[in-house]
A = this chain, B = another copy of it.
Amino acid sequence: MQLKMESFEHPSAALPPPAIILVETQMGENIGAAARAMANFGLRDLRLVRPRDGWPNERARAAASRGDAIIDVVRLYDDLPAAIADLELVYATTARPHDIAKEVESPAVAAGALGAAAARGARTGVVFGREKWGLTSEEIGHVDRIITIPVDPIFASLNIAQAVILVAYEWRRVVLGDPTWTPFAERERSPQASKADVFAFFTHLEAALDAVEFFRPETKRPHMVRNLRQIFQKARLSEQEVRTLRGVLAALERRPTRRDAAQAAETGE
């Protein structure tokens, strides 16, 4: 886990994330939601080409929630070439084929290429088009490659902030380098029980069941024991859970507790 934490902290600082460029976005809410999505996955550089309702935009700030640090440093441009002039590898996202022959990549493949470019020092970006009709063919012509998101073809219309978060998420996968990583592991307040603890519980359980002649006929005992053990093996018990189960078992066995023993002595039973 320690190693994974390191791989999580280190490359995210080292690899400059792609800029996100939104072209003629109509709704401030979408700009804000895109900023929030960027913040969720460590992206910082948001660029706007002619947002319809001008800038600054209070609806964008509200929708950004605590992603407002990104809203504070948004940069505005008059056209797409100006917005991407300092970048070296630029993708456009489109939901449908254009008339231009360009390489079309899935978000996973594109994020890998963006990560590789960033690792060699290139500045990168991803362009998102208008809510209603995306990017013009001329705008597509300004970028290097195309990302298209593998949506269900019968419902292909993705909200812009949703498209941004999917690209940002794939970027994060590249940064983490490990698709199984999670920010917190299984809660281990009580450590996993050792096999010895688990086996001692099995011995206890089976002895208790032998005492009440549970395993009948005797020939079926091995099979019944195996099935019973399997139930608790699957539960991957913690130390605390094994203690709890042994307490349950003792209670069911009606084994005299210390208080019972004291009472029995008092009443002379």
Contact = CB atoms under 8 A, between A and B. Distances in A.
A62 interface: no
B155 A67 contact: yes
A150 B182 contact: yes
A68 B101 CA distance: 35
Can you tell how many copies of this chain the complex includes? 2
Interface string A145-181: 0001111110111110110011001001100100111
23 contacts: A33-B159, A33-B162, A37-B159, A40-B156, A42-B152, A65-B157, A99-B187, A101-B187, A101-B241, A102-B186, A104-B182, A104-B184, A104-B185, A105-B180, A106-B182, A108-B180, A148-B184, A150-B173, A150-B176, A150-B183, A153-B183, A165-B165, A165-B166
Interface of A: 8, 12, 33, 36-37, 39-42, 65-67, 96-106, 108-109, 148-153, 155-159, 161-162, 165-166, 169, 172-173, 176, 179-190, 236, 238, 241
Contacts of A183: 148, 150-151, 153, 156
B96 A158 contact: no
Contacts of A106: 179-182
Contacts of A97: 184, 187
A52 to B, nearest CB: 19
A102 B109 CA distance: 32
- The 4 A-B pairs at the shortest CB distance, nearest first, are namely A108-B179, A39-B155, A42-B152, A97-B184
